[in-house]
Every structure is written in C-alpha cells, then in structure tokens.
Amino acid sequence: MNSKHISVLLDECINSLNLKSDSVIVDCTLGYGGHSSEILKRIPDGHLYSFDQDIDAISYSKERLNEISNNYDIIKSNFVNIKSELKKIGISNVDGIIYDLGVSSPQLDEDERGFSFHKNARLDMRMDKNSKLDAYEVVNNYSYDKLKSILYEYGEEKYASSIARAIINNRPIETTIDLVEVIKSSVPEKYRREKHPARKTFQAIRIEVNDELNVFEKSLNDSLELLNIGGRVCVITFHSLEDKICKNIFKRVSSIDESLKKLPIIPDEYMPKYKIVKTISPSPNELNNNKRARSAKLRVIERIGW
C-alpha cells in the first residue's frame, strides 16, 4: 500500500454500532481495514463479514485482521449481493452493517488505478479489476448525449455539455492527464481557478463505471431487512447523490404512511419498523487532519420492530 488510508468518522461510526462482545457485523466496504479492524477488536465472541471487490485491498486487510482475530470472513463480491452472499453461508440476520462509500486513499494514490485527476494513468477507475466496463470505454465510446447526461446527473457538472463535446472532439483519450487537459480546455478560466475543473467529471465517470448509485440503493434496502431488532446501519457518504439516496430510504422506512396519520389509533403493524438515530458530520479537528473528510456525512438508523 503506497499511502496510509485514514478512515473518516471512524470513532463516531464504531460507537454508533452499539457493539456487544457477541455481535454479528457486516462491513460492506472493507477497503484497507480501518473500520473492520476496530470492529473486530470489540467483538471477541462475535463475527465480522466484510465485503470488497478489490483483490489488493483484500490481501492487505487479511494481514491486518489476522493480527487481531480470526473471527471474520472476507467475501469477495460487490455489496449489492449482501443478502444472497450471506444466505449462502447461512446468515439471515445481523446486528450491524456499515458502509463507507468513499474511494480509499490507496486507490486514489496508486497511479495505475486511474481514479485520480492529479496522477497520470490509463483511464480505468474500476473498483473490481475484473469488471469489463472501465473509464476508457466510457470516455471513448459513449455518445455525446450519454456523456452529457452522466456528467450532469452524477457529477452535477454545470459545464457538462461543453465538456462532453470536447471529449467527443478529442478522441481517442488515453490517460487521466489527457482527459484533464480536455476538460480544462472546455471550461471558463474562472471555473478552472475555483476548484480543480476535472473533479466533478472524474466523479461522474467513476460512478458510471462502477454503477455506484444503483448498487448502493439496492444494497441499502437489503441491509435494512437483514437487521435484528436493535441492530443498526451506519452509512458514511461523500457526495450529495449518495446522501440523498440514504436520507430518502431512511425517511421512508422510519415514517408513518401519510394516509394513516389522521387515525386516532394506528395499529402496531403499521408503525415504522425503524427509527433514525443521528446524522453526524466530521469535527473541525478531523477536517484539519484529513482533507478527504470535508464532504463526509454519517447517517445512522436502528431497527425497532419486525
């Protein structure tokens, strides 16, 4: 691992899980083991199941977790498969689930992964190196309309139209730095000075390559069904689209149906089965120590009934 990965909102997330010594916990985003290692220390009689697609992250984390305990299994799969993968090993309910949806520092910092607009690499951005779709395919073969839509919807990029047109006109585009130069040439000088002009475009392409929003929405709905009563789901998001999905799902499952609110007595079977526990942002101290925490937000929900 070329750089140290600092887990965002680590203590807040671990404390929010309400861990007991025998808890069964799922870490949907193992990464380089920051959350998983802290969880494993606190569940000596329990078990941890951690999901990841990245073989490099899995190899590193195995060594890290082995130093703590053997009460864990790593499942090499996308967390969209949380329910089916746990069912294969006889797990139907768990006590806690976490998502840390940020791209890990090593993925950003390793040139060959193609995630960073600061480093030169072939366009890639795959979380799973075996996946067929990569950033090169998106940049060089998507239509203008599809590119524009992705940049606008996933990147919330106000210059989506001009960037998409510039990409079409400059194909083939081989590397991350080539793409950065194309983006710079297609936006106003003032925009280039405000923040890095490639930031939103790279985010949008990464989301498309990994189908991140659809995958997260399905997985989060399945995770809620897997919780025991008293169990919690903790979600750390890093941009507004992920956070909106999380916020809307949590609101839906923790609210009484509007058509029932005027009833004098609401039957128990129509009462919400979940309650929102808290929403937390990074402290000023964490923001000072970890710049990648600046857009993070932790949302926590608990199951209170069947």
Strand partners, 297: 237
* 210 closest CA partner among 82, 114, 144: 114
Separation of alpha carbons 106 and 123, rounded Å: 16
- 118 class by beta-carbon count within 10 Å (0-12 exposed, 13-18 middle, 19+ buried): middle
The phi-psi region of residue 90 (left if phi > 0; otherwise alpha if psi is between -120 and 50; otherwise beta) is left
What confidence score (pLDDT) does residue 261 get? 84
Separation of alpha carbons 187 and 199, rounded Å: 13
Could you tell me which CATH number the domain at 10-106+212-303 has?
Answer: 3.40.50.150
What confidence score (pLDDT) does residue 154 get? 96
DSSP state of 122: B
What confidence score (pLDDT) does residue 3 get? 45
Report the chain's terminal Cα–Cα distance, integer Å.
43
Tell me the average confidence (pLDDT) per consecutive run of 10 residues in the chain, 306 residues long.
Answer: 71 97 98 96 98 93 97 97 98 98 67 85 92 97 98 97 98 98 97 94 96 97 98 96 97 92 87 97 94 92 97
- CB proximity list for 34: less than 8 A, separation 6 or greater: 5, 6, 7, 10, 100
Tokens encoding 140 = 């060089």
Which CATH architecture does the domain made up of 116-210 adopt? Orthogonal Bundle (1.10)
Instruction: Give the residue extent of every domain in the chain.
Output: 10-106+212-303, 116-210
Tokens encoding 266 = 């609401």
What confidence score (pLDDT) does residue 106 get? 59
What confidence score (pLDDT) does residue 107 get? 60
What confidence score (pLDDT) does residue 2 get? 42
Radius of gyration of the CA atoms of the chain, in A: 21
Angle at 247 between CA 51 and CA 212, to 5 degrees: 40
What confidence score (pLDDT) does residue 110 get? 65
CB 79 within 8 A of CB 99: yes
